[in-house]
Chain A
Amino acid sequence: MSTIKLTVNGKAVSADVEDRTLLVHLLRENLNLTGTHVGCDTSQCGACVVHIDGRAVKSCTVLAGQAAGSNVTTIEGISKGDELHPMQLAFRDNHGLQCGYCTPGMIMSSIDIVHRHAGKLDEETVRQELEGNICRCTGYHNIVKAVLDAAGRMKVSQAAE
């Protein structure tokens, strides 16, 4: 057992967990942040993607201990109060989700994609960059649309800030 201290969605948190605990389980079981999901055992589906120190990673393949001292952001932490993140809005407006299970990971990965390709995203790039996120419902068509839409919205909201 170890005491893990880290910052999650801007709040300092601490949890006593077995060393074998994965970050995703720390989030779901100890912190009750159940928006981060587990969809596979092989680090492929991306339902568990969160941001560690600003980078979109698979929380099912990170030991809680590896994340100690880090800044973790989950799907629950990206809106500002009632004001949804532009990526959340774009997924809703473009019908980029159906059952919703892959959606948190999709949104967290997509925010990272837009950050890395600021101002120069096209459909092909979005499709390549979504390689690590599997959706069984949407055929990706509307997810791709949502990411491209959000890229525009995020540019506008950055410009406004």
Chain B
Amino acid sequence: MYETIYHRPSSVDEAVALFGKGSDSKYLAGGHTLIPVMKQRLAAPSDVIDLGKIKELIGIEASGDTLTIKAATTYFDIMQSADVKKSIPAIAYLTSVLGDPAVRYRGTIGGSIANNDPAADFPAALVSLGATVKTNKRSIAADDFFKGLFTTALEDGEIITQVSFPVPAKAGYEKMRHPASRFALTGVFVTKTKAGDVRVAATGASQNGVMRVPVIETALKANWSAGALDSVKVSDSGMLADIHGSAAYRANLVKVMAQRAVTAAG
């Protein structure tokens, strides 16, 4: 790791100010994305601004039709939250199969989505549920937030403050874990909104990161059941392919995980 300067601000405003002062600052929340990259010397931030202890960034609120998770809330706290379990249990489940227990104590929803790893779980939940990402500057719809591999709509120095999820009629998540990294080899989040719309997002599958799966959405809109996908064929064009899964295999997983997610959603 290269030498850096560590800061622990106590407010979002202070964090933004510190960020501006550094020549190449980076925010850190749980650190489970940035620190491994720094250890490999693939990132060399002049300043590391720790958001993990900023009180205004931690907490979960459920109010009627919306579940709001503040950005520096850890996976563990999300997984344990009675509000999450009650309003969108699929998010609690997704968090329970994300990383390992030690990672769940440190990793945060904000850190996950800001990194936008193509195999991360949370981007699929945000896109499927039609969530809104709120930053210190603006609100961004999930569909507009994720911009391909490791890329988001965030501007330099912008801080995610919270994510708001509309509470759906039904939602489910299933994934096939990568045998080595334990990220999602492919994961699919399915949502039936209260308005009756169906949104399906897959992670770990596309070369462009999290993606909607229109062919599955269409089939499920007509018939919300796992069986409705039996005859659906997901194209393997544009799918990731590596030693752990060919494009055809991942395309198959998108369908199979979608079926299982629908079953889990009820």
Q: Do chains A and B touch in the complex (CB under 8 A)?
A: yes
Contacting B106 at CB < 8 Å: which of A42, A57, A113, A131?
A57
Of residues 113 through 148 on chain B, the ones whose CB sits less than 8 Å from some CB of chain A are none
CA of A108 to CA of B200, assembled, Å: 39
Of residues 20 through 42 on chain A, the ones whose CB sits less than 8 Å from some CB of chain B are 20, 22, 41-42
Of residues 45 through 82 on chain A, the ones whose CB sits less than 8 Å from some CB of chain B are 46, 49, 55-58, 60-63, 65-66, 68
The segment from B3-11, B61-69, B160-168 that touches chain A is B3-11
Contacting A42 at CB < 8 Å: which of B8, B36, B76, B99?
B36
Question: Is there an interface contact between B100 and A62, defined as CB atoms closer than 8 Å?
Answer: no
Question: Is there an interface contact between B105 and A56, defined as CB atoms closer than 8 Å?
Answer: yes
Question: Is there an interface contact between A20 and B103, defined as CB atoms closer than 8 Å?
Answer: no
- A63-B48, A65-B6 given; A132·B35 CB < 8 A: no
Question: Is there an interface contact between A66 and B31, defined as CB atoms closer than 8 Å?
Answer: yes
Question: Is there an interface contact between B3 and A19, defined as CB atoms closer than 8 Å?
Answer: yes
Question: Is there an interface contact between A57 and B105, defined as CB atoms closer than 8 Å?
Answer: yes
Of residues 97 through 133 on chain A, the ones whose CB sits less than 8 Å from some CB of chain B are 109, 112-113, 116, 129, 131-133
The verdict on B194 contacting chain A, using a C-beta distance below 8 Å, is no
The verdict on B158 contacting chain A, using a C-beta distance below 8 Å, is no
CA of A131 to CA of B98, assembled, Å: 11
The verdict on A94 contacting chain B, using a C-beta distance below 8 Å, is no
The verdict on A93 contacting chain B, using a C-beta distance below 8 Å, is no
Question: Is there an interface contact between A132 and B40, defined as CB atoms closer than 8 Å?
Answer: no
A68: chain B residues within 8 A (beta carbon): 8
A63: chain B residues within 8 A (beta carbon): 6, 28, 31, 35, 48, 50
- A19-B5, A63-B31 given; A109·B106 CB < 8 A: no
The number of residues on chain B lying at the interface, defined by a beta carbon within 8 Å of a beta carbon of chain A, is 28
The number of residues on chain A lying at the interface, defined by a beta carbon within 8 Å of a beta carbon of chain B, is 30
Question: Is there an interface contact between A109 and B1, defined as CB atoms closer than 8 Å?
Answer: no
Q: Which residue on A lies nearest to B74, using beta carbons?
A: A55
Question: Is there an interface contact between B36 and A43, defined as CB atoms closer than 8 Å?
Answer: yes
Q: Which residue on B lies nearest to A53, using beta carbons?
A: B105
B32: chain A residues within 8 A (beta carbon): 43, 61
CA of A60 to CA of B5, assembled, Å: 18
B40: chain A residues within 8 A (beta carbon): 41
The verdict on A2 contacting chain B, using a C-beta distance below 8 Å, is yes
CA of A41 to CA of B52, assembled, Å: 22
Contact with A along B1-33 (1 / 0, CB 8 A): 111111010000000000000000000100110
The verdict on B196 contacting chain A, using a C-beta distance below 8 Å, is no
Q: Which residue on A lies nearest to B3, using beta carbons?
A: A20
How near does chain B come to A78, taking the closest CB pair, in angstroms? 16
Question: Is there an interface contact between A19 and B102, defined as CB atoms closer than 8 Å?
Answer: no
- 17 sample A-B contacts, Cβ–Cβ < 8 Å, listed by A number: A19-B4, A20-B1, A20-B3, A43-B36, A46-B100, A55-B76, A56-B101, A57-B106, A58-B103, A62-B31, A62-B35, A63-B48, A65-B8, A66-B8, A109-B102, A112-B101, A131-B100
Taking beta carbons and an 8 Å cutoff, which residues of A are in contact with B?
Answer: 2, 18-20, 22, 41-44, 46, 49, 55-58, 60-63, 65-66, 68, 109, 112-113, 116, 129, 131-133
